[in-house]
Amino acid sequence: GFLPAETATGLAMQALEALQHAHTLTYLDELGNSGIGIIHRDIKPANILLDEHGNLKLTDFGIARALGANRVTKTGISPGTIEYMSPEQIRGVPVDARSDLYSFGVTLYEMLSGSPPFQMAASGSDYDVLKAHVEEDPPSLRTLNPDISLALSDIVDRSLKKSPGERWQSAAEFREALLSEPVVRTQRQISVGGGAFASAEPETPSRPPLRQTHPRTIRRRWIRWITAGAAVLALGIVAILFDRSWKRFGTPHDTA
């Protein structure tokens, strides 16, 4: 199945915030050289985890690489997962942060439709999937899930462009596009896995409305307060009388 659009976009904004952090991270390598930016290179649902409160964690940076360090494998294909690899990963050419955005676009497509745009053939051959990533347009999201808006479908489509220059140019830009989508702004809190998380757009503070109290409720409150006051007064009188009686007749110790 697939996730409701509100849930998928809420999760997507968390994931893109994590990607933006990785892509702009200042780091030191083992030689003490500093650099900026880490590419994940294996974005897929299995590497996106949720806790019981709906907080998203981007995991498994096992094949991540610093921006600019674009070595590939001996076969010419960068490591990754076939269904989520960007066209440039498949071609074995240098990749940048926009490759991660393509892979996340595939992931968001799967959230909204129930399956990635290009699936492994029954034969288990990788060739058709690799070829489709490089040459074919994905099936329209709205044909698979008519409930999503045209704007949201267009946002995902842009993330899946074959040329990196035609995609979202940063995770922040991708996230901002989702944030402007009305479905995110109208759904402030989204339930996921028994928990909940707030959408990234803060709600405008406002004064809570004045509560109108029914007259009958007011009368009942007065009756409870009067009854409680009478009970306290009665207890006070009993205590005073008891104290006087005790002093009049004395204690057993005084009598002895």
Which structure tokens are listed for 150? 């045209």
Give the DSSP letter string of 194-220: TEEEE-SSPPPP-PPPPPPPPHHHHHH
Per-residue burial over 188-221, b if 16 or more Cβ lie within 10 Å, else e, is eebebeeeebebbeeeeeeeeeeeeeeeeeeeee
CB atoms within 10 A of CB 41: 21
The one catalytic residue in 42, 51, 100, 243 is 42
Residue spans of beta strands (DSSP E) within the chain: 26-28, 34-36, 38-39, 48-50, 56-58, 65-66, 189-192, 195-198
Chain length of the chain: 256
Report whether 154 contacts 112 (CB < 8 A).
Answer: no
DSSP letter, residue 188: -
Quickly tell me which residue has 């702004």 as its tokens. Answer: 185
Strand duo 189-192 + 195-198: pairing: antiparallel
* 126 labelled catalytic: no
Which structure tokens are listed for 255? 């009598």
- Region of 88 on the Ramachandran plot (φ > 0 left; ψ -120 to 50 alpha; else beta): alpha
Active site residues: 42
